Structure 1
Amino acid sequence: MAVTDNRQSTFEGTLRSAKTSLMFSETLRLALDSFRASKIRFLLTMLGMIIGSASIVLVVTVGLTGRQYALDTLSSIGPNMVEMQYNGGATIGPDGASTPDYMTREDEAAVLAQIPGIAQSSPMLEIHTPVSVGDGKVKDVMLLGVSPRYKDVRNLGVLAGRFFDDQDSVMHDKVGVMVEPLAKEIYGSSQAAVGKVLSMSGVPVTIIGVFKQRVDTFGQSEISETTMLLPYTVARYFTGTDTVKEIFFTMKDPADVPRGGARILELIRSRHRKTSNYTAFTMVAILDTMAKVADSLTYVLTAAAFITLVVSGVGIMNSMLANVSARIREIGIRKALGATKREIRLQFLTEAVFLSLCGGVVGTLLGLAVPISVNLLTPVHIPMSWLSAVVALFTSVLVGVIFGTLPANRAASLDPVETLKYE
């Protein structure tokens, strides 16, 4: 008896499954027939969905591209860098006179000795002085006295000649490197500048190289278009002191930058008067801020693209309502042949979803085609988000379900007797 019941239950389940499959295939066929019968109207209705889906993918792509560009730019400046700055405060001498409480090379040595994880460091002296460039010409130049490690700390690129090294620094060689715009302004090219001798306050300095920043910092760095770098030991000739206003450090691990910056700041403060003011500047905060700004912009633009999808959903609903009104007699005939409300509802809901999904697929493919084409045909790399494609397709289906429900319910609720009388 139990075996018979199990067989009957299995048979009924198989029958229900076959019936459901048959009903779905029939519903899909009717949706396709309806689409073929009104191609132009449905294509125009799909247009809004195509634009909305493509907008979602493109907006996310633009946001990712802008975010990546900003982060790459800032990272090229020095993501591992900690810049210690003196911002004010003074020491009071026995005579009551006050002098700035600048940092010293001893502070730099103390940091290197007591704080682990630091890769390199460089002090910086800033001097503004007129320079004789020959033929009686004088140019105002900003001299920065730095160590040979400054090149790696600031990620500088040498265009011609070489950067000064430890031997130059130890031997107090009067050499320097010039920023590219200054070399072009004075000598016409980077190569022509190498080997030239400038007179700085009567001190002859030989140009041994021309450098540039690897990325455009838009004026947000200590290097300007009139900068020349000298060994720190030589730059001291112009100041007569070993005090410095800024010291650069780089951490071995970018993850240690926030903690390392805090420890460096604490140590520097402990070596000076409490009234003196120092700050530890890192790229971490700027990187985080830029990432948040780019993400926020992407969210706003994506919301605008979603509004486009909602508007196109309203268009789908209007089109489906008009479709229901045009097919009242067909609905009546189907109901007279035994179609249930559920089947009628499913038919029109399938048409709405099919319409929106087709628009979503076409729009998503168009949106993805832009970054894929750029990546394949140009050396520029544009990041793509496959998640945005999934979101665009899911949203298009959701729009079809939401805005197709009302027309489907209206079609299902029509009275079969009245529909058969409809002309």
Structure 2
Amino acid sequence: MPTTTAAPPVSRTRRAVYSEIINFAYDTFCGNSIGANLIYAEYQAGAARITNTAPDPITIDDMNAVQGQVSGIVAASPVMSLGERIPVGGGKERDIMILGTFPQYRTVRNLVVVTGRFFDQQDEMQHNKVAVITEKMANLIYGSSEDAVGKVIKLSGLPFTVIGTFKERVDTFGQSEVTDNTMVIPYTVSRYFSDNPAIKQIYFSVADPSLVEPATEQIRKVIQSRHRPESTYNVENLTQLVSVAEKTANALTVVLFLVAAITLLVSGIGIMNIMLSTVSARIREIGIRKAMGATNREIRLQFLSEALLISLIGGLIGVVIGLAIPYSVRFLTAYRIPISGLSAIVAIVTSSLVGILFGTVPAARAAKLDPVESLRYE
């Protein structure tokens, strides 16, 4: 039988160094991609354990009360989450996430139907055992989205016909209740698997973005008024989440900048020490070059070039590692870290400047060596 599991609200991890990532986050979550009109509500279960009282989760009745008392709400949908293992062939099984929700969920979450259709009000009212699955799940289990439509998936012995596949309009970086292996079924049918009236989240959509803030506060008050005073409920909108994330990212940017500055300083000192040792070891070579007509400028350029080469190699290695990490995370998980080509260019240019800056002293010392004394050096 499916087991109930928690599903996090739609959000997106926005911790990054560069400010353009914050702008991208705002455009993604507060623009039309997911919807500037989206508000979600959920019960904070931890509060009940701290106060040693019974859980007081949100229910469908809360959603109906909000729709009746808060103006401007154009759509609402509950989310009930369940976990199940299904056979995928070859004697193997796969864990999937099952979401029981309303047909309005597609509109509220701005989902894209890839093949087939999303279930409708008739499916909901008639308790039709139909399902839509993610495009990635369809490709993984059935080979393609087209081949998935019409297939039957059994949940606790009940057959569900796949009527469509879908995907999120934008990448939510693994922070959505929709995972790669998600199956969405009508809410009325999901009640077959649980007698508990509790639901994990409620999504609301308001008519205009200007109504989001006042509606958020009104929804919070309505839900809180229907439950015990000590119970805690999280009612948020995406604008608030991005604002908090932006402050966090800015603080992290400062910390990482300081770490990078210290790292560059230590690296620069290391390059300078290496080059000073190189100059000391090649005094006779410098004397021979000067005796053969090399100018101080040519000697200086030679050692500056060597310092630049060392720093460039270090910079390129750093860029390769820096690119390998997000690509590895992207390959191993659903989390997609934005990669900026500008960042790689800045890293290479910065490492080059560090090499030139800290290579100046050794290069100048090499250029000032007296050729006669250098040839006598043992």
Kept after mapping to 2: 8 A contact 1:67/1:295: no
Q: Does 1:103 align with 2:58?
A: yes
Kept after mapping to 2: 8 A contact 1:147/1:232: yes
Q: What is residue 43 of structure 2 aligned with on the other side?
A: 86
Instruction: Work out the CA distance in 1 between the residues paired with 2:168 and 2:94.
Output: 22
C-alpha displacement of 1:153: 0.7
Q: What is residue 122 of structure 2 aligned with on the other side?
A: 167
Equivalent in 74, 91, 100 of residue 119 of structure 1: 74
Superposition pairs of residues 227-242 of structure 1, within 5 angstroms: 227-242=182-197
Superposition pairs of residues 1-400 of structure 1, within 5 angstroms: 66=21, 68-75=23-30, 76-88=33-45, 89-90=47-48, 99-133=54-88, 136-289=91-244
AA in 1 matched with 2:160: V
Q: SS at the partner of 2:128?
A: coil
Q: Which has the larger radius of gyration?
A: 1
AA in 2 matched with 1:107: D
C-alpha displacement of 1:262: 1.1
Q: Deviations over 1:275-322 (max 9, x none)?
A: 21111021012333566789998xxx9xxxxxxxxxxxxxxxxxxxxx
Q: SS at the partner of 1:77?
A: coil
Segments of 5+ residues of structure 2 without an aligned counterpart are 1-17, 258-378
Q: SS at the partner of 1:236?
A: helix
C-alpha displacement of 1:243: 2.2
AA in 2 matched with 1:141: I
C-alpha displacement of 1:257: 1.2
C-alpha displacement of 1:169: 0.3
AA in 2 matched with 1:226: N
Kept after mapping to 2: 8 A contact 1:70/1:290: no
Structure 2 vs 1, CA of residues 240 and 293 (structure 1 numbering), >3 Å: closer, same or farther? closer
C-alpha displacement of 1:101: 1.3
Instruction: Work out the CA distance in 2 between the residues paired with 1:279 and 1:98.
Output: 18
Structure 2 vs 1, CA of residues 136 and 175 (structure 1 numbering), >3 Å: closer, same or farther? farther
What is the alpha-carbon root mean square deviation over aligned residues?
A: 2.9
Q: Which runs of 4+ in 1 moved over 6 A?
A: 291-297
TM-score relative to the length of structure 1: 0.51
Superposition pairs of residues 396-407 of structure 1, within 5 angstroms: none
Instruction: Work out the CA distance in 1 between the residues paired with 2:67 and 2:132.
Output: 26
Instruction: Work out the CA distance in 1 between the residues paired with 2:22 and 2:201.
Output: 30
Q: SS at the partner of 2:154?
A: strand
Instruction: Work out the CA distance in 2 between the residues paired with 1:275 and 1:293.
Output: 29
Kept after mapping to 2: 8 A contact 1:198/1:205: yes
Instruction: Work out the CA distance in 2 between the residues paired with 1:170 and 1:271.
Output: 27
Instruction: Work out the CA distance in 2 between the residues paired with 1:101 and 1:68.
Output: 37
Structure 2 vs 1, CA of residues 99 and 239 (structure 1 numbering), >3 Å: closer, same or farther? farther
Q: SS at the partner of 1:255?
A: helix
AA in 1 matched with 2:179: S
C-alpha displacement of 1:69: 2.7
Kept after mapping to 2: 8 A contact 1:175/1:230: yes
AA in 2 matched with 1:257: V
Segments of 5+ residues of structure 1 without an aligned counterpart are 1-62, 92-96, 302-423
Structure number having the greater helix percentage: 1
Q: What is residue 349 of structure 1 aligned with on the other side?
A: none
Instruction: Work out the CA distance in 1 between the residues paired with 2:250 and 2:208.
Output: 25
Q: Percent identity?
A: 43
Instruction: Work out the CA distance in 2 between the residues paired with 1:132 and 1:175.
Output: 18
C-alpha displacement of 1:67: 5.3
Structure 2 vs 1, CA of residues 136 and 80 (structure 1 numbering), >3 Å: closer, same or farther? same
TM-score relative to the length of structure 2: 0.57
Instruction: Work out the CA distance in 2 between the residues paired with 1:183 and 1:79.
Output: 29
Q: SS at the partner of 1:103?
A: coil
AA in 2 matched with 1:82: I
Residues paired across the two proteins, number: 234
